Chain A
Amino acid sequence: MPKSIVVDPKSVRKSGKIEIPPIPINQYVSDPAKEGKKFGKKRLNEIYQDMLFIREFESMLNTIKIQGEYQGIAYEHKGPAHLSLGQESAAVGQCVHLDVEDFIFGSHRSHGEILAKCFSAIHKLEDEDLLRVMRSYMNGKPLAVLEQGGSGNGSVKDLAIDYVLYGVLAEIFGRETGFNKGLGGSMHAFFAPFGSMPNNAIVGGSGDIAVGSALFKRINRKPGIVIANIGDASSGCGPVWEGIMISAMEQYRTLWPKDVGGSPPILFNFFNNFYGMGGQPEGETMGFRQLARLGAGVNAEAMHAERVDGYNPLAVADAVERKKRILLGGKGPVLLDVITYRLSGHSPSDASAYRTKDEIALWEKQDCVAAFGRYLVDNGHAHKLARGAKRTGGGAHCPHSRAGLVPGDLPPAADRRPGPYRRADVQLSEDREVRRPGTGGSDFLRGESTDPGQQAQEPFRC
């Protein structure tokens, strides 16, 4: 409450009108020639490959849940699996222009997002950096499994793709060699070294946590943006609105020091698949009609909100590229309403009794993976049109075998392992080294010195 902000009755009692800026809906226009020049054949095919992998990965999980086997290997997965079949283009498109230092936080339905972010990092990082990450993460334990199985055909990129597929699947299956030692599982899995940050089983849970991460980057002058990937129905949740409110505070631009850089670089990315737990937001449980409208209620620039066609990965890539510039310039927050559709049920046990087969068929006809494959072929961009992830890259990627659906291939589920590994060991980190002495100096207003022996201000003492 700075006295500098004066509440002047003359100005607040004046009459007038509030103008709401127009909010664009699906404005991206595809231009294959331009897109070919902008991305190049290699990048476009990587986008397609990434989508194929996610499609195959999620289909594999679906098959395992429903039939108890996949490609002849029997396996019972007891835990949850909220699949994103149909949403691949939205996840992959988002990561096209993201770097490793850009963070994404997600939801319970984020397998595709984890893979997309990791693949994006793999495409961009040098081999030596990829090897360094894989060798050091969890003391190289997940990598050891891959190396035992002779993965990668000598290509570091292929090895890294196998590594990510394995680490995520092993995590979903509660294995100690999963990326979170099996303690996160399907709904909480993540891989921080590539910028895939915690995914949250609580609807909208990432809505305020991601804001804190964006504040960390802003306050500590760290590079990158932060994206909260949440669902359309999470727009009914308090934490999401509170996160938006804190991200949109005017003080970042009016009261904070200019060199800190402005508003925190946070993008609220609603993956809008038109269904939420227990209700349909558009038409039933929310009032906005189109989610992008929500930005209009928050600040003068309506959060730079847009509805984007998530079924076209290049439309999503274009939106993220433009919004990332806005965020890095300190002009956030941003809201994106990315429309998409899940072909599978909420989870494999969901028979989709709440929607018609005709509706699902409408979206299957426009399947985003097949559509992008056709786009590549039609415009001369395709290497060759592979049918499934198993066939890409020389058929080297077989996540199911790597994940040890073969019984006895993997260590037992995390909790049952006796000996040094115990869940209680990770509950409290007890890390007293997290003291971070002020090597760079702490920002203070008074006194030049941040030497604790020379305090800028006398403590109150009598």
Chain B
Amino acid sequence: MISLRDALFEAMLHRFYIDPTMVAFGEENRDWGGAFAVYRGLTEALPYHRLFNTSISEGAIVGAATGYALSGGRVVPELMYCDFMGRAGDEVFNQLSKWQSMSAGVLKMPVVLRVSVGSKYGAQHSQDWTSIAAHIPGLKVYFPATPYDAKGMLSLALSGSDPVVFFESQRIYDIGELFVKEGVPEDYYEVPEGEPALRREGSDLTIVTIGATLYRAVEAADLLQKNYGVSAELIDARFINPLNYDLIAESVKKTGKVLLSSDACERGSFLNTMAAHIAELAFDELDGPPVVVGSRNWITPAAEMEDTFFPQAGWIVDAVHERLLPLPGHQVSSDQSLEELQRRSRRGV
């Protein structure tokens, strides 16, 4: 069974073949296959000057990639954890994102910045910072959650001339393809840019996710169907920028109810931008406002307490019950009420 990490490997290997300028670097990229073994096997295939380890210099990892790309080469820098984007803040947000604009198109920026979203590693190693990347103009932001998408979206990113912040979730590097029946194609293919993926058809409400939260949403959809006969339509956004709202709007116009969930902290989450746009696009058909279920606005706690922080299947069901569609006989185990939303906002937590 081909896993998500294998799918990424295939996309990388293909582009290494067809683009002689392509190089990849970061911390622990060579010799050990990378911190999450995505590059396992590349050390034996590639000479040093195409795949090498840098010093612990996140800023210069992204800065050097910026200079390499604007000089005419394709480059895949890696920041082991997306939490480390802070260490490369200027390079990501003021350099990588802006040189195409500031040069009026004289320069291109074929950079795919691979970062991973952690879990179980605590406050500084488990954050989902997709919202921060979404906010700064000039960056494309992708977040595949399946092996098929991982290969197709990395291939897409590697085929273009624009900077892509490419998020991967550490939770699912081992996962196999559960949605596309034919599995991951051996040949080259790309996922169409900006298009969310319909994971499951449904009729009573729409659930939209970004990242690995997809699998908890699947759990929630199963619970809703089994215990309450509620049929949820599941959409995996997979793209944050650019993003085509057509499929999502169509779905919400059909169901009249929408809930969005991801592992990013709720405050300032990109899900809120999506919710606002969906509300405008499908206002007439909506029975109620879009509901956002994000992570608590806290630091990520230790692994033992993660289920109090990240969205759980139970939270999604509770939120449906509380804000969208009362479920007969349902007992909530978390507080998804509007009063709680206001309390948290007042306290700033």
* A residues in contact (CB < 8 Å) with B: 1-3, 103, 105, 180-184, 188, 190, 192, 197-198, 200, 202, 205, 207-220, 238-239, 242-243, 245-246, 249, 251, 255-257, 260, 423, 425-432, 434-447, 450-452, 455-457, 459-462
- When C-beta atoms are compared, the residue in chain B nearest to A452 turns out to be B17
Contact B20 A211 (CB under 8 A): no
* Known pairs A434-B108, A442-B20, A443-B47 / 18 extra A-B pairs, C-beta < 8 Å: A205-B94, A208-B64, A210-B67, A213-B68, A220-B21, A239-B91, A256-B48, A426-B101, A426-B104, A428-B100, A435-B18, A442-B16, A442-B17, A443-B49, A446-B45, A450-B20, A459-B6, A461-B6
Knowing A427-B100, A434-B161 are in contact, say whether A209-B95 is a contact too (CB < 8 A).
Answer: yes
State the CA gap A3–B43 with chains docked (Å): 13
Stretch at the interface among B70-78, B243-251, B306-314: B70-78
Q: Which 9 A-B pairs have the closest CB atoms?
A: A212-B67, A208-B63, A242-B60, A212-B64, A181-B104, A242-B57, A431-B161, A209-B67, A208-B60
Question: Which of A436, A452, A462 touches B2 (beta carbons < 8 Å)?
Answer: A462
What are the residues of chain A within 8 A of B61 when measuring CB–CB?
A: 242, 246
Stretch at the interface among B7-15, B201-209, B216-224, B283-291: B7-15
Contact A198 B99 (CB under 8 A): yes
Contact B17 A212 (CB under 8 A): no
Contact A207 B73 (CB under 8 A): no
Knowing A251-B52, A427-B100 are in contact, say whether A219-B105 is a contact too (CB < 8 A).
Answer: no
Contact A435 B63 (CB under 8 A): no
Which of B28, B49, B95 has the most chain A CB within a 10 Å cutoff? Answer: B49
What are the residues of chain A within 8 A of B21 when measuring CB–CB?
A: 216, 219-220, 436
Tell whether B254 is near chain A: CB-to-CB under 8 Å: no
* Residues 1-60 of B contacting A (Cβ, < 8 Å): 1-2, 6, 9-10, 13-14, 16-23, 28, 30-32, 41, 44-50, 52-55, 57-60
Contact B137 A427 (CB under 8 A): yes
Question: Which of B45, B63, B102, B110 touches A211 (beta carbons < 8 Å)?
Answer: B63
What are the residues of chain B within 8 A of A452 when measuring CB–CB?
A: 14, 17-18, 188
State the CA gap A256–B73 with chains docked (Å): 19
What are the residues of chain B within 8 A of A445 when measuring CB–CB?
A: 44-47
State the CA gap A235–B343 with chains docked (Å): 47
Per-residue 0/1 for B132-163: is the Cβ within 8 Å of any A Cβ (1 yes, 0 no)? 00000110100000000000000000011110
Contact B101 A245 (CB under 8 A): no
State the CA gap A434–B162 with chains docked (Å): 10
- How many positions in chain B have a CB within 8 Å of any CB in the partner chain? 74
Minimum distance in angstroms from B286 CB to a CB of chain A: 30
Contact A243 B63 (CB under 8 A): yes
Minimum distance in angstroms from A215 CB to a CB of chain B: 6
What are the residues of chain A within 8 A of B44 when measuring CB–CB?
A: 445-446, 457
Minimum distance in angstroms from A7 CB to a CB of chain B: 15
Minimum distance in angstroms from B155 CB to a CB of chain A: 11
Knowing A428-B162, A452-B18, A457-B45 are in contact, say whether A212-B90 is a contact too (CB < 8 A).
Answer: no
Contact B67 A211 (CB under 8 A): yes
What are the residues of chain B within 8 A of A243 when measuring CB–CB?
A: 57, 60, 63-64
Knowing A426-B100, A456-B45 are in contact, say whether A434-B74 is a contact too (CB < 8 A).
Answer: yes
How many CB-defined contacts (below 8 Å) exist between A and B?
Answer: 249
Per-residue 0/1 for B95-113: is the Cβ within 8 Å of any A Cβ (1 yes, 0 no)? 1000111111111111000
Contact B63 A207 (CB under 8 A): yes
What are the residues of chain B within 8 A of A105 when measuring CB–CB?
A: 67
What are the residues of chain B within 8 A of A257 when measuring CB–CB?
A: 47-49
- When C-beta atoms are compared, the residue in chain A nearest to B62 turns out to be A208
Knowing A1-B28, A446-B44 are in contact, say whether A438-B100 is a contact too (CB < 8 A).
Answer: no
What are the residues of chain A within 8 A of B73 when measuring CB–CB?
A: 216, 219-220
Contact B103 A183 (CB under 8 A): yes
Minimum distance in angstroms from B274 CB to a CB of chain A: 20
Knowing A1-B28, A243-B63 are in contact, say whether A208-B91 is a contact too (CB < 8 A).
Answer: yes
Contact B13 A459 (CB under 8 A): yes
What are the residues of chain A within 8 A of B30 when measuring CB–CB?
A: 1-2
State the CA gap A2–B31 with chains docked (Å): 6
What are the residues of chain B within 8 A of A209 when measuring CB–CB?
A: 63-64, 66-67, 70, 95
- When C-beta atoms are compared, the residue in chain A nearest to B101 turns out to be A427
What are the residues of chain B within 8 A of A215 when measuring CB–CB?
A: 23, 64, 67-68
Contact B68 A239 (CB under 8 A): no
Contact A429 B100 (CB under 8 A): yes
Minimum distance in angstroms from B302 CB to a CB of chain A: 29
Tell whether B252 is near chain A: CB-to-CB under 8 Å: no
State the CA gap A452–B110 with chains docked (Å): 21
